């Protein structure tokens, strides 16, 4: 036995003999800590054991004698347990159990050395030690249905199924939503209002009475130790009276409250005093629940399951990888995430399990990327002389960032493998011209290209822009070979377009979801372009891609992608960034105003319109709602026209208008016949009005940062000074961190990071992306862990991309299991 453990046993025995009066050592047990800690580290005791001993003995003098006894027993149990595990690992350091008492019976904890009992038969002890260190012989099946567990009948099985739990594996991976730390023991006489603590006491009395006219049963108990007494109450649990009466000595954990000047505990966790507490006197897991499942019941089931199955969990991570980043083995992490020995071990468990999720996600992403890169793709050359002549025909010069991106696209198109590129650039940075040139490169060799946008307005705008950009290239594409296909296109025209697409007469089609419909077929689709890609789901992009034979894919977004998302959700895509605005653009000046300051905003609109400029006024609703107390575009349009801007020309735009009416309004606004456009969020993307210099957003707190940044991008598209005014619905929202972030920066990437942090990846992207939404512990915003997982996944993938090596077989199985329920198509 190690010296430090022997010394601990010696002091604990002395303390027990003195009935826990804290005088076994002069000055109290806390005085041994400094010297004992040095010896423990020399003996290489686990850090969590050292910290547990220190934390318990440091506060030992504050405990009642009953609490001191429980504390010392708890420490010895953990020391004993760790010692047996050490023996199991190296089978060198012989652990001698105390000889002054019997060894514990099977499934019980090791006895505390200070327990004053007569010695028992040596044989029993020897048998117990051998049983403890011998691994279980039975082969455990983690796919076993949960109803095989004793006590789980039809009703509980149905409830667990609602929680997504059908097997032992599901149960083990049902992680707590939080942990309550009840490990702090205190005598009742030392309690303070508001503390979350554990107390140990004797049930002096217990009774049940009716309150609220008999509608509620109240169980009251008086619990005491030598330092004082505490009134404890439970609501609507009359059966507790009998249980508490039988228990006599109990452990209670909860928050200390106050009633009529006296300290109380209401509805605490409780259990009879024993050598091991599951619901009290420890860091207690708190699980998500559903109907027919209680916290205590689920905690008990999981405790039994973790004890039986936890040690047998196989670790899929190669030992070298795991040890290089100091992660605990998976079996330990699973046991500690449910029933942690300390906060330190809990945090290590969380880190291990979060790393696993991100690592398995990265392995799948890299596999998908490799599969796509290995497919053959048609080669499309674009000689420098030819591309330069096309650039000279443009009405503007490309920025350095645009030229760099165009070079990357040209290299992809002539690589012999399908392009799989994400093009991100702020509003107005010039992504559309890159898409137009990519389409031109493809159609000049007789192939077809499809351009998909999320809304009809945006599709119509791209149609006009692309016709203008490509109109000077009749040798490659004629005006009648470019067409628009949206939901409102008349059926007879749709039929003609579908016929010409299937015969190859149309080279470039711009459209919405209408492009995905079954009747739409292409003769030779070789380039699929998706704008505002986060508005389309995985299946939709996959459907468009399948209309060609391994076509090249270019997806675009004006929402800057934070690095953590670029490495995970979009990890299979090559990334291009246009981080440079065209020359002459001025940053948009942004202000947040109180609702009472609205007249200041109206005055700014009048001044700008009087200068010949235009303005947007955005509202969160189309029409007034009884459920939502916000201004609406339709009603406000009438008020603004009559009362605020009677001498100006106003227009109204919202998503419920007919497509031709919307187009008519936008045309009038573009041609400056409308000076002020009152609108909903339909102007969020794509509307290009160079004369607009004011963006006024009412109810601004109802929009996300990405949307607000898009709104702001509708102005400032010329060399005129522009303004964005954000007005929340009430004064309390003026400190809204999203709104203040808009004031602080015009950098879309900074805002994207902030938006991701505030709203999370699901809302940030707008659609469920396969592969990452099932993460339980990992956070996509944890860039450090994401980069660590990406680095190690990339290194391992380079060594063994098929995971065919013998030491990677468990990992291959884990990757397949992780991706089983994920979409088998693109994840980005």
pLDDT at 767 over 50: no
3-class DSSP state for residue 596?
helix
User: CA dihedral in degrees (182, 184, 188, 192; nearest 10)?
Assistant: -90
**Phi, psi angles (nearest 5°) of residue 717:** -100, 20
pLDDT of residue 630: 61
Quote the tokens at residue 817: 């299991």
Give the span between the Cα atoms of 3 and 49, in whole angstroms: 15
Whether the Cβ atoms of residue 691 and residue 613 lie closer than 8 Å to each other:
yes
Helices marked H in 212-342: 240-247, 295-309, 319-324, 330-338
Q: Average pLDDT in the 98-121 region?
A: 39
Most confident of 119-123, 157-161, 673-677: 673-677
pLDDT of residue 762: 54
- Of the candidates 151, 73, 143, the one whose C-alpha atom is nearest the C-alpha of residue 108 is 73
pLDDT of residue 91: 40
Q: Average pLDDT in the 35-47 region?
A: 75
Which residues are bridge partners to 251 per DSSP? 200, 271
Q: When comparing pLDDT for 690 and 764, which is higher?
A: 690
Q: When comparing pLDDT for 255 and 762, which is higher?
A: 255
Q: How confident is the model at residue 698 (pLDDT cuts 50, 70, 90)?
A: very high
pLDDT at 254 over 50: yes
User: CA dihedral in degrees (260, 263, 267, 272; nearest 10)?
Assistant: -140
pLDDT of residue 198: 82
CA dihedral for 677, 682, 687, 693, sign (positive or negative): positive
pLDDT of residue 764: 54
pLDDT of residue 557: 83
pLDDT of residue 105: 38
3-class DSSP state for residue 483?
strand
DSSP 8-state symbol, 533: G
Q: When comparing pLDDT for 189 and 760, which is higher?
A: 189
Give the span between the Cα atoms of 484 and 489, in whole angstroms: 8
In the sheet that holds 676-679, the strands lie side by side as 589-592, 723-727, 692-698, 614-618, 676-679, 650-653
Whether the Cβ atoms of residue 97 and residue 1 lie closer than 8 Å to each other:
no
Q: Average pLDDT in the 673-689 region?
A: 81
Q: Which residue has the tokens 């992608």?
A: 561
Whether the Cβ atoms of residue 376 and residue 416 lie closer than 8 Å to each other:
yes
pLDDT at 136 over 60: no
pLDDT of residue 822: 52
3-class DSSP state for residue 692?
strand
pLDDT tens for residues 515-566? Answer: 888 788 999 999 999 987 655 555 666 778 788 888 999 988 877 777 777 7
Count Cβ atoms below 10 Å from residue 302 Cβ, excluding itself: 20
pLDDT of residue 761: 60
Instruction: Identify the helix (H) or strand (E) that includes residue 257.
Output: strand 249-259
Give the span between the Cα atoms of 340 and 702, in whole angstroms: 41
Whether the Cβ atoms of residue 167 and residue 32 lie closer than 8 Å to each other:
no
Helices marked H in 568-631: 598-610
pLDDT tens for residues 730-766? Answer: 777 766 777 888 998 888 778 877 777 766 665 555 4
pLDDT tens for residues 782-810? Answer: 778 888 998 999 999 988 988 888 889 89
pLDDT tens for residues 357-416? Answer: 999 988 888 888 888 788 899 999 999 999 999 999 888 889 999 999 999 999 999 999
3-class DSSP state for residue 632?
strand
Q: How confident is the model at residue 770 (pLDDT cuts 50, 70, 90)?
A: very low
Q: Cβ contacts of residue 431 below 8 Å, gap of 6+?
A: 423, 425, 531, 556, 558, 578
DSSP 8-state symbol, 621: B
Average pLDDT, the chain: 81
pLDDT of residue 18: 80
Which residues are bridge partners to 614 per DSSP? 692
Whether the Cβ atoms of residue 273 and residue 251 lie closer than 8 Å to each other:
yes
Quote the tokens at residue 782: 């944890």
pLDDT of residue 95: 35
pLDDT of residue 826: 47
User: Which region among 43-57, 81-95, 194-208, 575-589 has the lowest average model confidence (pLDDT)?
Assistant: 81-95
Q: When comparing pLDDT for 232 and 48, which is higher?
A: 232
Give the span between the Cα atoms of 188 and 197, in whole angstroms: 10
């Amino acid at each position: 036995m190690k010296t430090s453990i022997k010394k601990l046993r010696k002091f604990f025995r002395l303390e027990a003999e003195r009935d826990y009066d804290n005088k076994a050592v002069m000055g109290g047990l806390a005085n041994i800590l400094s010297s004992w800690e040095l010896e423990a580290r020399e003996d290489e005791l686990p850090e969590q054991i050292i910290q547990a001993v220190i934390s318990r003995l440091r506060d030992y003098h504050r405990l009642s004698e009953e609490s001191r006894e429980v504390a010392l027993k708890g420490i010895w149990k953990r020391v004993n347990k760790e010692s047996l595990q050490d023996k199991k690992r190296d089978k060198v350091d012989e652990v001698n159990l105390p000889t002054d008492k019997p060894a514990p019976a099977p499934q019980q904890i090791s006895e505390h050395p200070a327990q004053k009992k007569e010695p028992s038969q040596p044989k029993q002890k020897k048998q117990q030690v051998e049983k403890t260190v011998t691994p279980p012989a039975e082969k455990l099946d983690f796919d076993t249905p949960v109803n095989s567990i004793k006590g789980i009948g039809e009703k509980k099985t149905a409830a667990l199924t609602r929680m997504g739990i059908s097997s032992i594996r599901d149960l083990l991976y049902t992680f707590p939503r939080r942990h309550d730390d009840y490990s702090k023991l205190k005598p009742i006489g030392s309690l303070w209002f508001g503390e979350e603590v554990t107390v140990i006491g004797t049930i002096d009395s217990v009774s049940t009475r009716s309150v609220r006219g008999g509608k509620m049963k109240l169980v009251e108990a008086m619990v005491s130790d030598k330092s004082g007494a505490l009134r404890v109450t439970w609501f609507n649990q009359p059966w507790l009276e009998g249980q508490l009466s039988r228990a006599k000595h109990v452990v209670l954990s909860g928050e200390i409250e106050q009633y009529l000047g006296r300290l109380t505990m209401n509805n605490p966790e409780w259990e009879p005093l024993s050598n091991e507490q599951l619901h009290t006197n420890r860091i207690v897991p708190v699980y998500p629940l559903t109907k027919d499942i209680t916290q205590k019941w689920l905690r008990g089931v999981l405790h039994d399951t973790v004890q039986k199955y936890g040690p047998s969990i196989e670790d899929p991570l190669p030992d070298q990888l795991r040890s290089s980043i100091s992660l605990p083995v998976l079996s330990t992490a699973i046991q500690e995430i449910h029933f942690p020995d300390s906060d330190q071990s809990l945090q290590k468990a969380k880190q291990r399990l979060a790393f696993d999720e991100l690592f398995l996600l990265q392995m799948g992403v890299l596999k998908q990327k490799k599969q796509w890169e290995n497919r053959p793709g048609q080669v499309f050359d674009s000689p420098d002389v030819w591309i330069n002549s096309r650039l000279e025909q443009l009405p503007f010069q490309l920025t350095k960032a645009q030229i760099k991106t165009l070079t990357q696209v040209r290299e992809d198109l002539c690589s012999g493998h399908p392009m799989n590129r994400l093009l991100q650039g702020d509003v107005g940075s010039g992504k559309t011209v890159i898409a137009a040139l990519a389409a031109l490169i493809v159609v000049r060799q007789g192939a077809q290209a499809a351009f998909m946008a999320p809304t009809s307005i945006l599709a119509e705008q791209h149609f006009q822009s692309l016709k203008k950009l490509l109109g000077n290239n009749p040798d490659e594409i004629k005006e009648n070979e470019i067409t628009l296909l949206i939901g409102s296109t008349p059926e007879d025209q749709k039929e003609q377009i579908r016929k010409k697409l299937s015969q190859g007469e149309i080279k470039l089609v711009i459209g919405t979801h209408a492009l995905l419909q079954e009747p739409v077929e292409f003769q030779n689709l070789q380039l699929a372009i998706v704008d505002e890609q986060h508005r389309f789901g995985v299946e939709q992009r996959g459907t468009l891609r399948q209309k060609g034979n391994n076509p090249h894919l270019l997806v675009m977004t004006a929402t800057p992608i934070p690095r953590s998302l670029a490495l995970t959700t979009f990890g299979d895509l090559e990334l291009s960034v246009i981080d440079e605005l065209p020359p002459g653009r001025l940053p948009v000046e942004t202000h947040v105003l109180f609702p009472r300051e609205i007249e200041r905003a109206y005055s700014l609109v009048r001044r700008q319109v009087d200068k010949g400029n235009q303005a947007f006024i955005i509202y969160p609703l189309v029409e007034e709602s009884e459920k939502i107390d916000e201004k609406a575009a339709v009603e406000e349009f009438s008020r603004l026209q009559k009362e605020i801007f009677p001498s100006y020309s106003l227009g109204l735009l919202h998503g419920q208008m007919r497509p031709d009416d919307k187009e008519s309004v936008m045309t009038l606004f573009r041609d400056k016949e409308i000076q002020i456009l009152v609108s909903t969020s339909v102007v969020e993307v794509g509307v290009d009005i160079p004369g607009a210099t004011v963006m006024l957003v009412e109810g601004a707190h109802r929009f996300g940062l990405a949307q607000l940044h898009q709104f702001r991008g509708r102005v400032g598209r010329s060399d005129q000074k522009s303004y964005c005014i954000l007005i929340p619905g009430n004064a309390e929202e003026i400190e809204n961190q999203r709104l203040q972030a808009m004031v602080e920066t015009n950098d879309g990437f900074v805002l994207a990071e902030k938006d991701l942090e505030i709203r999370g990846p699901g809302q940030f992207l707008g659609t469920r992306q396969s592969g990452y939404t099932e993460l339980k512990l990992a956070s996509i915003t944890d860039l450090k862990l994401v980069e660590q997982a990406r680095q190690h996944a990339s290194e391992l993938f380079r060594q063994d991309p098929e995971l065919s090596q013998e030491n990677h077989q468990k990992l291959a199985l884990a990757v397949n299991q992780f991706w089983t329920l994920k979409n088998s198509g693109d994840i980005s």
